Amino acid sequence: MLRTGRQSDFRDPCFTDPDLLDVFRSLSVHPLGRAPIGAAFYSRAQPGFGRTLTTTPRNLYLISIMIAPVPGGEMWRDQRSFHRGYIPAGGIAVLDHRSEWSALLEDPFALFDLFIPVSAIDQVAREAGRDRITTLHCPLEQTNVDPVMYHLAMSLMPLVRGELPSTLLFVEHVFQAITLHLARAYGGLAISETLVRGGLPPFLYKRAQDMLLSDLTTEPSLSELAQACGLSSRHFTRAFKASSGEPPHRWLLRRKVDRSKELLRIESMPIADIALLCGFADQSHFTRIFRRVIGSSPAAWRRMVLN
């Protein structure tokens, strides 16, 4: 289940009252039978925020990506003070939220947080046949820049801010990549780079396709697809891509466009109706995706094929 904003499990900032922020938006994903994973964007243009509230311990990691640079300053972990290093725009901070945290914020800030359950990191290690990762190592006393994490996080930013419609398949896919990267970059997890040579068995591939296509207006989650095939989400994604050449969310997007082309040949059907029937949020979302895949707008494509 995908939730955004004040209806999410991360509906309140963990370090302050939302009324003290200029912008706060959040999003969470509930993988089937697992702890929720979330993201949030915060910004404040005025300086002098002061010391943040002390966070309540939770069984998760908080990954902060700085949209604006943050000068070095005082922080507290479990009530013990230390000096945080300078973090440039694009830099990151990794906090184990099983501890209590607080920070002194004297400058304007804009940051993007990811909330990753400890259990999600455990699962990565378990699937790789490795020992449990006890914590992620990313010392806050030094400057940490991680382009991979930055770009993965920024792919979620338009969804968190409500600028693009959220699709569960895509969000789960990004979080899956994030947890793997965290485990490898900060948890010391070594995984072979051997490519998956075989895909899903034909009957499972057809099962997954049927689930994806059964109702274009309500897509299944990655967790549901994996469970139906008796696989972990990570194994399912790799195997599906080996079979189809694309991850599930991208494969489904192309099928939606294919279906829309069939309906666009019906001249009397409004494009707005076609967008909804094919599972797009609205006509503008449909037009944007159609243009990206086909190279022209739905209206232009319709004129070309009907004339």
Contact 234, 191 (CB under 8 A): no
Looking at the DSSP bridge assignments, the partners of residue 69 are none
List Cβ neighbours of 19 (8 Å cut-off, separation of 6 or more): none
Q: Give per-residue pLDDT as tens, 22-67.
A: 999 998 887 766 788 899 999 999 999 999 999 999 999 999 999 9
Q: Give per-residue pLDDT as tens, 243-297.
A: 999 999 999 999 999 999 999 999 899 999 999 999 998 999 999 999 999 999 9
Question: CA 127 to CA 98: how far, in whole Å?
Answer: 23
Confidence bin at 4 (pLDDT 50/70/90): very low
Question: CA 205 to CA 239: how far, in whole Å?
Answer: 9
Structure tokens at 43: 């910004």
Q: Above 60 in pLDDT, residue 8?
A: no
Q: Give per-residue pLDDT as tens, 183-224.
A: 989 999 886 544 445 788 888 899 899 999 988 888 888 888
pLDDT of residue 224: 86
Mean pLDDT (the chain) is 89
Q: Give per-residue pLDDT as tens, 110-149.
A: 999 999 999 999 988 988 888 999 999 999 999 999 999 9
Instruction: Classify 164 as helix, strand or coil.
Output: coil
CA 97 to chain CA mean position, Å: 19
Residue 132 DSSP code? -
Q: Above 60 in pLDDT, residue 240?
A: yes
- The CA R_g of the chain, rounded to the nearest whole Å, is 22
pLDDT of residue 197: 58
pLDDT of residue 3: 38
Question: CA 119 to CA 59: how far, in whole Å?
Answer: 8
For the whole prediction, is pTM greater than 0.85? no
Q: Above 80 in pLDDT, residue 17?
A: yes
Residue 145 DSSP code? B
> What are the φ and ψ backbone dihedral angles of 209, each rounded to 5 degrees?
-60, -45
pLDDT of residue 192: 57
Q: How far apart are the first and last CA of the chain?
A: 43
pLDDT of residue 173: 86
The kind and range of the H/E element at 158 are helix 157-160
